[in-house]
Amino acid sequence: MSNHIKIAPSVHSDLLGKLAEMKKYHPQQDAPTKAAFILALFDPDSPQNPISTYELYNVVPAPLRHFLGAKDQLLDVDFTDQYPEGQKPLKSQQASATAHPETLAQLIHIPEIAEVKKQGNNLVKVGYVNQMPCPRCACSLAAGHVCTLAIDSSAFDAEWATRRDQEYINMSLKIMEESGTHMIEPQSEVPEWTTGKLPRHRLAGQEIYTNPLSVTEKADIIKGFNAHVQPFNKHTNYTATISIKSRDDFFAIGRQTLTPGIPEDEYFEKLKEQETKYSYTIPPGTALLFALQPHGIDPTEIEIEFDETPAMRDLINILGAGATHIKFPISHDLHHKMQESAEITFRTATHKSDHEEASKEKEYKIYNQLNALKVLKAALGTKLTLEVQPPTPKHDNNAAP
C-alpha cells in the first residue's frame, strides 16, 4: 500500500531557515557560501521530524587545503599522458579541487546512515540546496536515493545558473527525473513522497565480498571482473578495489557505472554529441563508495587501489569523503619528472562572469597533471602509493628485421 506523505510545514520552514543561514557565510572560506546542502533523513510514515540532518558546504578536501587554500583552484582532470596512443581525451579538461556537498553528504556519513537503517528505519532522504546541482551532483543524488530535492529559488539567478544553465536543463534535470529524484522550489512547495514509489535503484558494476579472501583469490576476482565488465567510456576505463586494513573479510571491486535510472541507449549516445565536461556516469572510486552504504563502511578506514591513474574528480570525491590511503600506477616518464623537481608550480587564469551581479573577475590557480600529482604526494605522503610502470621500450627503426 502506498501513502502520499508531505513534510510538516514547521519542519520545512526550519530546514529552509538553516539553509538561509548557511548561504550567508562559509566557515572555511570566510566568504558567502557558493554551495550549501542539507540532507534530511525521514521515516517514510513520519514526516513530523527528521531522524537526523547533515549540513555540508563545498570544500577543498582537508589533505589538500594546506597546499591549495580553502577556495576553488583547478587541477587537471585527466592525466592524459597515461592513456594508450589513440585513446587520449578529445579536449583538455580541468576539475575544481572543491568537493561538492551533494556528493559529500552521501559519503561522509555512510556509518551514521547505516546505523539508522540498522534500527529498522526505511529511510527517505530529502535534500535542500542553494545552487542548481551540476550533472555530477545530480548523479550523486540519484546514487544516494534522494527522493526530493528542494532548490532555493535564488539558485536560478546565480552565476553558475547563467554559465551552465543548458547542462542543468539538458542533463541534471533528466538525471533526476529518470532516477526518481523529484525537484521542487521550496518557497512555493513542500517536499513530499509516495511511500510505495521511493527510488531504490542499485548501482551496477560493483561487487562486494564479506568473507575472508586470500591474495590469490582477490587476484582471480579482479581478473574475472575485468574480463566481463564493459566500461561505458574508455577514458575512465579503470577498476577500483577497496579493502580494510584491519579486516580480511571485506573486499569490494567496481568500475564506472551509468547513473541509476538512465536508459543507456537513449542518453549515452546523445552525450557524445554534447560539448560538455559532464557525463551520465559515476566514476569508479566514487561509485564504489556509494556501494559501501548498505555495509556502513567508514571511508576513513579503507584502502582504495586503482589499476590505472584515476580521474582527478574521482580522487577529489574520495579525499572529500575522508579516504586517504590511495594507490595507483603512473608512467615511468611522469615519475621521472616528479623526481627531477619537487617544486609545485601553477599558472593563473581569470574568469569574468556574465552574471550582472558579479563585480570582479575571479582568479584561479591551475595545476597541470604533473603538479597535481605533486600536490597529492605532498599532501598524503606515505599514504599515497604511486606504482611506477616500466619505461616504454624505444623502437629502433634502423634495426634489422
Residue 359: the pLDDT is 47
Residue 177: the pLDDT is 87
- Residue 288 belongs to a domain with what CATH number? 3.40.140.10
% helix, strand, coil for the chain, step of 5: 40, 20, 40
- To the nearest whole percent, how much of the chain has pLDDT over 90? 33
Quick: pLDDT tens for 382-401. Answer: 999 999 988 866 655 555 54
> 55-69, 330-344, 346-360: which range is least confident on average?
346-360
pLDDT over threshold 50, residue 88: no
pLDDT over threshold 70, residue 85: no
CA distance 233 to 175: 18
Cell numbers that stand for 256 in this block: 564506472
User: DSSP label at 230?
Assistant: P
Of residues 359 and 332, the one with the higher pLDDT is 332
Q: Are 293 and 270 in contact (CB under 8 A)?
A: no
266 φψ region: left (φ > 0), alpha (ψ -120 to 50), beta (else): alpha
Q: Are 333 and 305 in contact (CB under 8 A)?
A: no
* Of the candidates 72, 89, 69, the residue with the CA atom closest to the CA atom of residue 80: 89
DSSP 3-state assignment of 254?
A: strand
pLDDT over threshold 80, residue 79: no
Q: Is residue 373 part of a domain?
A: yes
Please tell me whether residues 326 and 227 are part of one structural domain: yes
CA distance 128 to 145: 14
Cell numbers that stand for 280 in this block: 551520465
Q: Is residue 86 part of a domain?
A: no
Domain boundary among 197, 226, 246: 197
Place of cell 525537484: 183
CA distance 309 to 306: 7
pLDDT over threshold 80, residue 242: yes
Please tell me whether residues 113 and 234 are part of one structural domain: no
- To the nearest whole percent, how much of the chain has pLDDT over 70? 79
Of residues 97 and 299, the one with the higher pLDDT is 299
Cell numbers that stand for 259 in this block: 547513473
Please tell me whether residues 173 and 214 are part of one structural domain: no
pLDDT over threshold 60, residue 367: yes
Range of the domain at 19: 4-59+99-197
Domain boundary among 197, 230, 258: 197
CA angle 127/133/135 to nearest 5° reads: 125
Domain boundary among 170, 197, 224: 197
pLDDT over threshold 50, residue 305: yes
pLDDT over threshold 90, residue 27: no
pLDDT over threshold 70, residue 51: yes
Q: Is residue 185 part of a domain?
A: yes
CA distance 103 to 37: 10
Please tell me whether residues 231 and 366 are part of one structural domain: yes
Residue 358: the pLDDT is 45
pLDDT over threshold 70, residue 120: no
**CB-count exposure of residue 44 (10 Å: 0-12, 13-18, 19+):** middle
Structural domains counted in the chain: 2
Q: Are 130 and 23 in contact (CB under 8 A)?
A: yes
Q: Are 185 and 157 in contact (CB under 8 A)?
A: no
Quick: pLDDT tens for 247-289. Answer: 889 999 998 888 877 766 665 565 555 556 777 888 899 999 9
Please tell me whether residues 39 and 106 are part of one structural domain: yes
Please tell me whether residues 152 and 31 are part of one structural domain: yes
CA atoms lying within 13 Å on the CB side of residue 111: 9
Quick: pLDDT tens for 321-351. Answer: 999 999 999 989 889 999 998 898 887 776 5
Mean pLDDT of 20-49: 84
**Average pLDDT taken over every residue of the chain:** 81
Residue 164: the pLDDT is 72
